[in-house]
Every structure is written in structure tokens, then in C-alpha cells.
């Protein structure tokens, strides 16, 4: 995947907004080890890292444990301290951003290889002062894993989890969010891979591009 040239706005964001790749799922529907599944000559994880580096100079992986994925260069591995799936990845992302002095953080999944180049830029532009999250939508569906979060959202997370809740969409509703829609023209940029059939379809999409 070719690198996307930075616009002045995106260049500024790249220096201030970390991107955390959510790679903690077990991937049972695809037979496990989803991040390591190959799409053409690259793994889904490698493709996710390439995408993330087009948006930010600071990239980390949120994983179940350090053995879940192989060591990836010098990328930090954020382990799941809650055992609650994607919401644990968001918790790790918010903590990582705060520790690095960032006021917001972008989360993206490892199984969505065609994300739009303007993802961070458009989500950031849509977020107002009263909202703590900006979520991507397309084709009538929301994509909670593709959300820009303000670090202030972390203060509301313990109570949310203590109430037995774990939905990313529900957490976004709790903290207040705005949606940003991407049109589906020649294909959905948010197509995600959950099964062998999805992986085969992604191969076709990749060839058509």
C-alpha cells in the first residue's frame, strides 16, 4: 500500500494523535490468529500497521497478551488488563494516549484493510468540544472500532464496565459522540474480515483496485 502524502492538517495530527490497532480478538470464525492471516503477500496485521503509519507517527497494538502476535519492530504492545474484548483495547488506547501527553487517540481494527486515507482527518474535523468521540459510518452501518476518542472519556470507563457493559457503540453513546459517514462508491472502505469467505472477497477487492 502506498503511503498517503500528508496534508498540512494531517501532518499536524500525525504528530499529536496516536493510532492504536485493536488486535485482541480471538478470530474464531476464521480459525484463530486473525491478525496473521495473509491477504495477498501481506498479513492483515502488516496492512493495518501500514495504514496506521499513514496517519500517525505514534502507533501501538492492543492485544490479549504479548504472545498473541509476534514482535513487531518497535511497536508498543498494550495488553488487555480487563479481559473484556474491544472495550479493553479502548481502555488501553486511552491510557496510552494520556501517558504520551495526547488529548485524543484513534482506534482502528486489524481486520479492515481498505480504510480511507482521510479517516483521522475527517473524524477530527467533526468532533466538537462537547463530544468525546467521533465514529465512522458507511453503508448505513456504524464502525465503533474506527473511532477517535478524547482522553477525557477514560474517566467514564470504569463505571461503564462496572455496570456490566462492553459495547464500543454503547460507550460512545455514554460519552457523547458524532458520526462521520463515508460514501460507498466502488466498494465499502470499512469492509472487515471475519471468515475465510470474507478473506476471499478481500482478495477480489484487492485485485480490482
pLDDT at position 179: 97
Nearest CA-CA partner of 22 in 93, 125, 70: 93
pLDDT at position 11: 77
Query: Mean pLDDT per segment of 10 residues, for the chain of length 209 residues?
Result: 45 86 71 77 91 94 73 78 78 96 96 95 92 96 97 96 94 97 88 90 85
pTM of the model: 0.89
Q: How far apart are CA 142 and CA 136, in angstroms?
A: 6
Do 152 and 105 form a contact (C-beta atoms < 8 A)?
no
CA angle 199, 110, 6 (to 5 degrees): 115
Q: What burial letters (b/e) apply to 89-110, b meaning 16+ CB within 10 Å?
A: bbbbbbbbbeeeebebbbbbbb
pLDDT at position 69: 64
- Pairing mode of beta strands 59-63, 104-109: unpaired
Nearest CA-CA partner of 133 in 119, 149, 156, 120: 149
Amino acid at each position: 500500500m502506498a503511503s498517503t502524502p500528508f496534508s498540512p492538517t494531517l501532518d499536524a495530527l500525525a504528530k499529536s494523535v496516536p493510532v492504536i490497532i485493536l488486535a485482541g480478538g480471538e478470530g474464531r470464525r476464521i480459525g484463530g490468529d486473525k491478525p496473521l492471516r495473509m491477504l495477498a503477500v501481506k498479513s492483515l496485521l502488516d496492512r493495518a500497521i501500514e495504514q496506521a503509519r499513514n496517519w500517525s507517527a505514534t502507533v501501538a497494538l492492543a492485544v490479549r497478551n504479548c504472545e498473541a502476535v509476534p514482535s513487531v519492530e518497535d511497536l508498543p504492545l498494550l495488553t488487555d488488563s480487563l479481559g473484556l474484548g474491544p472495550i479493553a483495547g479502548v481502555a488501553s488506547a486511552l491510557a496510552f494516549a494520556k501517558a504520551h501527553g495526547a488529548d485524543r487517540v484513534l482506534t482502528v481494527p486489524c481486520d479492515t484493510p481498505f480504510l480511507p486515507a482521510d479517516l483521522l482527518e475527517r473524524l477530527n474535523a467533526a468532533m466538537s468540544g462537547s463530544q468525546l468521540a467521533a465514529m465512522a459510518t458507511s453503508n448505513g452501518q456504524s464502525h465503533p472500532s474506527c473511532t477517535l476518542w478524547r482522553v477525557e472519556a477514560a474517566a467514564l470507563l470504569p463505571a461503564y464496565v462496572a455496570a456490566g457493559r462492553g459495547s464500543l457503540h454503547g460507550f460512545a453513546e455514554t460519552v457523547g459522540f458524532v458520526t462521520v459517514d463515508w460514501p460507498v462508491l466502488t466498494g465499502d472502505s470499512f469492509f472487515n474480515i471475519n471468515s475465510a469467505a470474507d478473506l476471499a472477497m478481500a482478495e477480489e477487492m484487492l485485485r480490482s483496485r
